[in-house]
């Protein structure tokens, strides 16, 4: 018999992807996350048929039903990526609670990476969710979890102070410090070296990629996406 859980996760993931894309659009613009969705061009409220993850965008060919203004392809991409990730979670982690925790972690990290890449800040609500998910019972010894958070947080705070003093401007945002503390809660104290190396390499790759597409990198690049990707890799992949 086919296990229905991966399909159930994929469908739920598509809905969470839709929510993630909407929150990443609304929150930085100060728009309430509770209101009904509306077309940003014509302002018409969107109905249920306009909000079915992936399908609505495909059926309407990426345009608003009312004013035919183009709707960003970022929406189906985020919805599809989230659905795929949620689908994989129960296949990788047979325990349903672990799979759900991982799926929610991936979604929160995607949200944080999207907002930081565009707006250069990491919303506290997203970082708090990452931290709370780390505290799900049975995942890790409480002592390891808390000492990881403390060590990662202090190290990030120290680095922020030192580098900012050296450069004469803010080098590592407070949001990055909070996210690194949450990463410490997830990874415990022993995975710190691997996380730091991976974050550094991902950050450099991101910088090179942005330079390649000729975006202005004189004022630095947001470090959040590199931290998010590295945390997810460290949690998912077995570290020797």
Give the residues lining the site for Zn ion (CB under 5 A): 39, 41-42, 64, 66-67, 69
The CB-of-62 to Zn ion minimum distance in angstroms stands at 12
> In terms of Cα–Cα distance, which of 177, 157, 182, 174 is closest to 232?
182
Q: How far apart, in whole angstroms, are the C-alpha atoms of residue 108 and residue 183?
A: 12
DSSP string, 37-54: PB-TTT-PBP-GGG-STT
- Give the Cα separation of 53 and 107 in Å (integer): 15
Find the shortest distance in angstroms from Cβ 53 to Zn ion. Answer: 19
Nearest-approach distance from CB 153 to Zn ion, in angstroms: 44
Decide whether 76 or 184 has the Cβ nearer to Zn ion.
Answer: 76
Q: Which is nearer to Zn ion, 42 or 97 (CB)?
A: 42
Which residue in the block uniquely carries the two structure tokens 């996380």? 195
Question: What is the smallest separation between the CB atom of 40 and Zn ion, expressed in angstroms?
Answer: 8
Task: Report, in Å, the least distance between residue 67 CB and Zn ion.
Answer: 3
SS3 of 171-239 = CCCHHHHHHHHHHHHHHCHHHHHHHHHHHHHHHHHHHHHHHHCCCCCCCCCCCHHHHHHHHHHHHHCCC
Sequence-distant (6+) residues with CB within 8 A of 198 are: 230, 233, 234
CB 20, CB 105: distance < 8 Å? no
- Report which of 71, 85, 126, 116 is spatially closest to residue 232, judged by C-alpha positions: 85
Decide whether 69 or 84 has the Cβ nearer to Zn ion: 69
What number of H helices and E strands is found in the chain? 9, 0
**Can you give the length of the chain in residues?**
240
- The least CB distance from residue 75 to Zn ion, in Å, is 14
Q: Which is nearer to Zn ion, 66 or 139 (CB)?
A: 66
In terms of CB distance, is 60 or 155 closer to Zn ion? 60
Query: Which one, 72 or 217, has the nearer CB to Zn ion?
Result: 72
Nearer to Zn ion, 41 or 159 (CB): 41
Cβ of residue 82: shortest distance to Zn ion, in angstroms? 24
């Amino acid at each position: 018999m086919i296990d229905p859980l991966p399909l159930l996760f994929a469908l739920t993931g598509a809905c969470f992807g839709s929510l993630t894309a909407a929150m990443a659009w609304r929150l930085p613009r100060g728009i309430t996350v509770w209101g009904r969705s509306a077309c940003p061009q014509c302002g018409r409220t969107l109905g249920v048929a306009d909000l079915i993850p992936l399908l609505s965008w495909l059926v309407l060919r990426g345009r608003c039903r009312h004013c035919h203004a183009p709707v960003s392809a970022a929406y189906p991409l985020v919805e599809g990526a989230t659905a795929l990730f949620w689908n994989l979670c129960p296949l990788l982690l047979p325990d349903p609670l672990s799979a759900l925790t991982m799926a929610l972690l991936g979604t929160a990290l995607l949200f944080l990476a999207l907002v930081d890449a565009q707006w250069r800040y990491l919303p506290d609500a997203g970082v708090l969710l990452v931290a709370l998910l780390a505290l799900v019972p049975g995942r890790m010894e409480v002592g390891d979890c808390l000492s990881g958070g403390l060590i990662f947080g202090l190290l990030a705070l120290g680095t922020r102070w030192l580098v900012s003093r050296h450069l004469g401007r803010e080098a590592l945002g407070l949001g990055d410090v909070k996210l690194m503390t949450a990463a410490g809660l997830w990874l415990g104290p022993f995975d710190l070296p691997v996380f730091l190396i991976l974050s550094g390499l991902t950050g450099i790759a991101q910088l090179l990629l942005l330079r390649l597409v000729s975006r202005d990198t004189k004022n630095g690049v947001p470090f959040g996406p590199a931290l998010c990707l590295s945390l997810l890799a460290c949690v998912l992949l077995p570290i020797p």
